[in-house]
Chains A and B, each alone.
Chain A
Amino acid sequence: MNARIAFGRALAMLPALMLCAVLAEAQSLRPYVEGDQLHLRSPNLRLLSAEAKQQLRNGATVTYAFRVAIMGARNGDPRVTLTYHCIFSWDLWDETYKVSRREPGYRSASRLNQAAAEQLCLESLVVPASVLPPDQPFWITLAYQMDNRRSAEGSDSSSSIPGILVDIFSRRTKDSVPVELVESGPFRLGDLRKAR
């Protein structure tokens, strides 16, 4: 009787476990080596949040901040940390995306659909192969967050005291933008080179 109950429970949990596995797969990183650089790819990862897409459709640009960390073990201390910023914009009439990477070198591509824009952004996040351990496994953590700060051009510039006070008191409390985290591994540089 007990065995049947346990089997029933396991059967009931199976869809949930499968969903978790699918989500984990969707969120996983698939790095590849091209030349001396490690590129990141995650075909099912959706970077742009609903808020970001709303801002883009309002004609504003949206900046995403990325932090790529290489670790020797899962949840270990990062050996290398790299920071990137990608700027997304939306063509109102063509209804296509444009994405540009600010640093380390400016790169830009336009007339993209959402998936292409997101993947192009991800692939532009590169890690020099020289900083990776040649024969030891490593983990990659990608943390990203929409940069919610308005550009100085767009911000209010009330100079009078009443204006400043109205600005302060009329603000609605906004939820802080969450930091999304994707962690994958272990990888070996040799395996990645072979996979190429």
Chain B
Amino acid sequence: MKRIRTRLILAFLAATILPLVVTVWIMTSLLERSLGFATTEQLDRLSTSLQDTGRHYYQQARELLRKEAAAGAIEHQTYAFAEAAQWPSEVRDFLESSEPERFAIGGEGGSRLDYFVRKGEDVWVYTRSLDGVRMEELSGEYRSARKLVQESQERDLRRGFTTTLIVLVAAVWLVSLVWLIYLANRVSRPVQQLTAGLSELAAGHLDTRIDAEGADEIGRAVAAFNRSASELEQSRGRLVYLTQIASWQALARKMAHELKNSLTPIRLTVEEILARLPESERPFMEQAARIVVSEVESLERKVRAFSEFSSEPPLHLGKIDVNSVIEERVSFLKPGHFDVGYATELAADLPAARADEDRVKGILTNLLENGAQATGPGGKILARSCVQEGKIRVEIHDSGPGLSEEARRTLFEPTITFKKHGMGLGLSIARKDALMCGGDLCLIDGVLGGAGFQLTLPVAGDE
């Protein structure tokens, strides 16, 4: 069975590897092409050029401001030393330095150039606009561009993207493979169980069952297997029972024949002896003859019972209304057991059964009689009917003492009696009749505290 799993995995490998390789090839080609567009060399050159231009512009602005200041062409702001405590920090910083002059970028975004000059102890500050050029913002832009360039130089993006692509594709593929192995196991396991179950069944182990999983085709196949195995097991049980019964019947027939052959001459001989005796000896002999005849009659009854057991009248299968038969049997037997309480729970719309009505009556009579005798005065008997799993089920429960474990085991075997009267063949005949009708009779847990029997019959039309 591992071959199914292996085939599935090989099919997955064959179906995925080639498309995967083609996909990776296409993607890496596209990646190569896209990376060719995204070059940072231009950014490198552009940022360097930007810095040179900015620096040049700044130097020019400085020179211009210095010349304008020297020529007195622009106004200046004087910071008197006496008020040094109130000076802005950049002016104080310049004062504390040893520099003779200083240029500093100020204003919003660095759009202004300040020129600090010492005049004795005072500081003069000349200011000039940079004509909208924001030097600090320019610095920020340059810094960002250089950072990108540096990062790009520190990396091999082509290798990074390609390796990442291959790793991710391989990871996805491996996850899919693991998932497929799991699925293959999951799919092949029930098939494997089914095959093993069939092998067990073929070997005669009819009690083999498989745990059913899911409602898919495999699940339904497993359920069908379990159902078939169960029916096979039941059929074999019935067949074995019928075979046993047939053996017992043959034995009973032979025994009855032999006994009958001997009993008739015995009875005739005793009656002849009694007729020929003188009157003086008659009282004693009459008494002895009555005993012998009584025993012979008893033996004859048993012979008749054996004969009935061994007889196999023809089966007349037909549609029968089981509920009516139950009610009719209860009504028939109730007068004979007026001190027993009878109850019925009959299913409405119970379909007709296909069985021999006389035999069903015989079975129900036997069960109801047995129940009445077991439960005794004041006892209860319940008769129920229903449909389960496409079969008609009739249950007879009594409130008697129930059955021992030993009795449960040998209940349907002939010649076992638990009553004062009878031969103990009733239940054997009842089960045999039920089986002959295509049903069965079995012992179930009683709901009234005593014994419970279930008669199963096929629904009419359910051949």
Give me the interface of A with B, judged by CB distance under 8 Å: 55, 58-60, 92-95, 111, 154, 156, 161-162, 165-172, 174
Q: Which residues of B does A touch, CB under 8 Å?
A: 51, 54-55, 58, 97, 99, 102-103, 105, 135, 139, 142-143, 146-147, 149-151, 154-157, 159-161, 163-164, 167-168
Residue of B nearest to A156 (CB): B151
The reply to whether B160 and A167 form a contact with Cβ atoms under 8 Å apart is: yes
Query: Across the interface, do B159 and A169 meet the contact criterion of CB distance under 8 Å?
Result: yes
Instruction: State A162–B51 Cα separation when bound (angstroms).
Output: 35
Query: Contact between B164 and A166 (Cβ–Cβ < 8 Å)?
Result: yes
| CB closest residue in chain B, given A55 | B150
**Contacts A58-B143, A154-B147, A169-B160 given; does A93 touch B154 at CB 8 Å:** no
Given A92-B51, A95-B55, A154-B147, CB of A170 within 8 Å of CB of B159 = yes
**What separation, in Å, do the CA atoms of A30 and B149 have in the docked complex?**
40
Q: Which residues of A contact B149 (CB under 8 A)?
A: 58
A93 nearest in chain B by CB position: B58
**Chain B residues within an 8 Å CB radius of A161:** 168
User: Which residue of B102, B135, B160 is within 8 Å of A170 (Cβ)?
Assistant: B160
27 inter-chain pairs at a CB distance below 8 angstroms, sorted by A residue, are: A55-B150, A58-B143, A58-B147, A58-B149, A59-B139, A59-B143, A59-B147, A60-B143, A60-B146, A60-B150, A92-B55, A92-B139, A93-B105, A162-B164, A165-B167, A165-B168, A166-B157, A166-B161, A166-B164, A168-B160, A169-B159, A170-B156, A170-B157, A170-B159, A170-B161, A171-B156, A172-B156
Given contacts A58-B147, A94-B103, 12 further A-B contacts (CB under 8 A): A59-B139, A60-B143, A92-B139, A93-B58, A93-B105, A95-B55, A162-B164, A169-B164, A169-B167, A170-B161, A171-B154, A171-B160
Q: Which 7 A-B pairs have the closest CB atoms?
A: A170-B160, A59-B143, A58-B146, A169-B163, A170-B155, A165-B164, A93-B58
A156 to B148, CA, bound (A): 11
Chain B residues, CB < 8 A from A166: 157, 160-161, 164
Which residue from chain B places its CB closest to the CB of A54 in the assembled complex?
B150
Q: Is the CB–CB distance between B97 and A92 below 8 Å?
A: no
Q: Is the CB of A111 within 8 A of B150?
A: no
Residue of chain A at shortest CB distance from B151? A156
CA distance A170 to B97 in the complex (A): 47
- Whether the pair A59, B146 counts as a contact (CB closer than 8 A) is yes
Alpha-carbon separation in the docked complex, A112 to B164 (Å): 46
Instruction: Give the interface SS of chain B, mostly helix, strand, loop or mixed.
Output: helix
Report yes or no: A92 in contact with B155, Cβ–Cβ below 8 A: no
A162 to B166, CA, bound (A): 11
What's the minimum C-beta distance from A85 to chain B, rounded to whole angstroms?
21
- Cα distance A111–B105 in the bound complex, in angstroms: 13
- Which of chain B's residues have a CB closer than 8 A to the CB of A59? 139, 142-143, 146-147
Instruction: State which of A58, A93, A94, A172 has its C-beta within 8 Å of the C-beta of B155.
Output: A172
Asked if B155 contacts A171 (CB within 8 A), the reply is yes
B167 contacts which chain A residues (CB < 8 A)? 165, 169
**A190 vs B124: C-alpha distance when bound (angstroms):** 47
User: A58 and B164: CB pair below 8 A?
Assistant: no
Question: Nearest Cβ distance between residue A183 and chain B, in whole angstroms?
Answer: 33
B161 shortest CB reach to chain A, Å = 6
**Known contacts A165-B167, A169-B159; is-contact A92 B142 (Cβ 8 Å):** yes
Are B161 and A92 in touch, CB under 8 angstroms?
Answer: no
Inter-chain CA distance A168–B156, complex, in Å, is: 10
Min distance, Cβ A190 to any Cβ of chain B, angstroms: 33
How many Å lie between the Cα of A95 and that of B139 in the bound state? 12
B157 contacts which chain A residues (CB < 8 A)?
166, 170
| Bound-state Cα–Cα, A85 to B41, Å | 34
Q: In the bound complex, how far is the Cα of B155 from the Cα of A92, in angstroms?
A: 26
Q: Which residue of A lies closest to B103 (CB)?
A: A94
How far, in Å, is A97 (CB) from chain B's closest CB?
Answer: 14
Instruction: Determine the chain B residues whose CB is within 8 A of the CB of A169 once the complex forms.
Output: 159-160, 163-164, 167
Least Cβ–Cβ distance between A150 and chain B, in angstroms: 9
Inter-chain CA distance A167–B157, complex, in Å, is: 8
Q: How far is the CA of A167 from the CA of B99 in the complex (A)?
A: 47
Q: Choose among A58, A93, A169, A170 the residue with the greatest number of B CB atoms under 10 Å from its CB.
A: A93
Complex contacts, B147 vs chain A, CB 8 Å = 58-60, 154
Q: Given A58-B146, A162-B168, A169-B164, A111 and B159 touching (CB < 8 A)?
A: no
**CB-based nearest B residue for A110:** B93
CA distance A161 to B142 in the complex (A): 30
- Specify which chain A residues have a CB less than 8 angstroms from the CB of B143 in the assembled complex: 58-60
Kindly list chain B residues whose C-beta atoms are within 8 Å of the C-beta of A170.
155-157, 159-161
Q: Evaluate whether A111 and B58 lie within 8 angstroms (CB atoms) in the complex, with A170-B157, A172-B154 already known.
A: no
Chain A residues, CB < 8 A from B163:
165, 169
